[in-house]
A and B are shown apart, each in its own frame.
Chain A
Amino acid sequence: MSVNYQAVLWNRQKKIYDRVLAAGVLLYLIIFIVFGAIVHPNATAEILMIRGFGTASLLLLHIILSIGPLCRINTRFLPLLYNRRHLGVTMFILALAHGILSTIQFHVLGNTNPFVSIFTSNQDYTSLSNFPFQPLGLFALGILFLMAATSHDFWLANLTPPVWKALHMLVYVAYALIVLHVVLGVLQAETQPLLVILLAAGMVWIFALHLVAANKEKPADMQVAELQAEGYTEVCGVDEIANNRGKIVLLAGERVAVFRYDDKISVISNVCQHQNGPLGEGKIIDGLVTCPWHGFQYRPQDGASPAPFTEKIPTFNVKVIDGRVWVDPRPNLPGTPVEPARIGS
């Protein structure tokens, strides 16, 4: 593990991911533009391309926004998440092509600077149906650019994860802007109800998926909130501890040993009563935490040595939520029995 970013090589899974992505985008564009030109011979090529790139980008955005909640609902969707940033960059490129072509088509070769024209040609900003929809698309494109430009781990490391995550959550703002761009733009001209139905279905899908994922995580979120209120501290993930082994963590300035055994987690002091040996580096043998220095043993459930021995060490209250270990930093008196946390709970 490292806090530094590292270049991940172009591995097999990524290659498969990108090939499928490229095939999907090409399939869509060929159908839309080539089949579109056959069905609509009077349509100009630029219009078909503008619409093709725009709709491809919007469809891809729906897929991108679906992946997060799908993975939270079922971890078997995780391969879709693995290279999602390439989906994002591809979506941005499609949106950029749509934006560039539209700007050339509608604003270039006129009596005003094209970028000024985007904002000033239609100035009916107080109207709803007549609201200038193109600036909305431009703002969305700006957000997508920021996200695409910072998608590399270099930026994740340098911006810090909280800032990076906040920046990338702007995708929902971009989505809202794009929906408005479509509703106040092409839907004001197209009379076919299918376009409205498709856009509404996409919005309902995204909203419902996020709602289901949030509901699935709600119990765990509430438990976490309760634990935080009770003073518990998250110390590590269950998967960071090998079975019948311990992990030493720092809790309120003191080292404690977190042990995993029989699908359970117990937490005891890290200090052996014998010669202060590091119990967390020990192993559970015959159901007992065994000190690596001299083999002194303690029951993980209550920190007491088995009879006839009388050594006792402090224990800690522990809970496992969503694969994470939470510990109450206030130690119990040495030898106090504590119910082990079930890993599956």
Chain B
Amino acid sequence: MSFDKNDEFYVGYLSEAPAGVAGLIKKVVIALLALAAFIAVLLVVNQSPFYPSLFEFGTYRSFEGVIQEKPYPTLLVKRPGEAGKLPGFSQYYLVSFGKFGAAEAVKGLDGQQVTLEGSLIYRDQQTMIEIVDGSISQVERSNGAAGLSVEGEGQKLGNFTLTGEIVDSKCFLGVMNPGNLKPHKSCAIRCISGGIPPVFAVQDKNGMTNYFLLLSADGQSVNQDVLKLIAEPVKISGDVYQYGNLLVLRADPEKYELM
């Protein structure tokens, strides 16, 4: 740096900066503050849209229904009123606190009527309950619970080839938003490896998301088999079953194709 002796010279420990230097710095600082505000606004309005979903964090509700252990823990809750063509029950995924499925929490309770407390997680028509640890109580099966079961493998709807993204259902349905794609990949791997049901999210031509619970061709869990394909565009050909409220896609995970 060179200083002409006639130039203003800034010394930080003096109380006043030279007038010319101070004037320039004021303009620079104002420009920087304006730039920061402008960039913040730009970034806010230019983020990709956040799809409506909700996790009722800290809000605990009581539920009563019948536990279905397989293929993933769900709670069947009788619908109020006439169900029409719909099943006579709502089917809620059950998961535990954190990045864990509820297999341990509901072990041995298959087909049993229980009460439990938990927080709701929902997106579109998909609903999940994060169970409050230790809140499940077995109760006497009531008459109203009759018919609260999904028998066998469900109803086969046909063979389809679908393209979409493997997501962890807990985050995608509302615990995180967004709960998919590359930034969320590590979390989804943790969740699915911890037993959270893996779901195949497929967007139709109208931009609506369809949800397919992933199972192997013989109806087993595929959690440990899909970890390398999470948050990637994937093509899967397999049999689709209607299992209660849920659509299930059964295919050999070795035949999943990375797009």
Contacts and interface: CB of A to CB of B under 8 A. Distances in A.
B43 A32 contact: yes
B126 to A, nearest CB: 15
B206 interface: no
A1 interface: no
Contacts of A100: none
Interface stretch (B59-67, B73-81, B97-105, B142-150): B97-105
A79 interface: yes
Contact of A79 (B2, B25, B32, B176): B25
Categorize the interface residue count of chain B.
35 or more
A35 interface: yes
Contacts of B33: 20, 23-24, 27
Interface in B171-221: 176-178, 181-187, 189-191, 193-194
A27 B36 contact: yes
Contacts of B161: none
A55 interface: yes
Interface string A18-53: 001001100110011001100111111011000100
Contacts of B39: 28, 55, 59, 198
A76 B8 contact: yes
Interface stretch (A108-116, A152-160, A272-280, A307-315): A108-116
A170 to B, nearest CB: 24
Interface stretch (A7-15, A248-256, A294-302): A7-15
Contacts, number: 174
Nearest to A42: B50
A192 B48 contact: yes
B44 A32 contact: yes
Interface stretch (B10-18, B85-93, B242-250): B10-18
Contacts of B183: 185-186, 188-189
A75 B181 contact: no
B47 A192 contact: yes
Nearest to A55: B43
A76 B3 CA distance: 10
Contacts of A134: 186
Contact of B47 (A24, A40, A80, A83): A40
B48 A190 contact: yes
B235 to A, nearest CB: 17
Contact of B186 (A35, A43, A106, A322): A106
Contacts of B254: none
A323 B3 CA distance: 7
Contacts of B52: 42
B1 A71 contact: yes
Contacts of B186: 106-107, 117-118, 121-122, 132, 134
Nearest to A344: B4
A24 B181 CA distance: 32
B26 to A, nearest CB: 10
Interface in B39-57: 39-53, 55
A46 B41 CA distance: 18
B15 A110 contact: no
A323 B9 CA distance: 14
B190 A106 contact: yes
A204 interface: no
Contacts of A108: 98
A24 B28 CA distance: 13
A195 interface: yes
A124 interface: yes
Nearest to A129: B182
Q: Top 9 nearest A-B pairs by Cβ distance?
A: A109-B98, A110-B190, A189-B181, A31-B40, A121-B186, A188-B182, A42-B50, A106-B187, A110-B99
Interface of B: 1-4, 7-8, 10, 12-15, 17, 20-22, 24-25, 28-29, 32-33, 36-37, 39-53, 55, 97-100, 176-178, 181-187, 189-191, 193-194, 228, 232
Given A12-B15, A76-B10, 15 more contacts: A11-B15, A28-B37, A31-B41, A42-B53, A47-B177, A76-B8, A76-B20, A82-B10, A110-B99, A110-B190, A117-B190, A130-B182, A185-B182, A189-B178, A192-B47
22 contacts: A20-B33, A23-B33, A32-B44, A40-B44, A42-B51, A47-B176, A47-B177, A71-B1, A106-B184, A106-B190, A109-B99, A111-B193, A121-B189, A130-B182, A132-B186, A133-B182, A185-B183, A189-B184, A195-B43, A322-B1, A322-B2, A323-B2
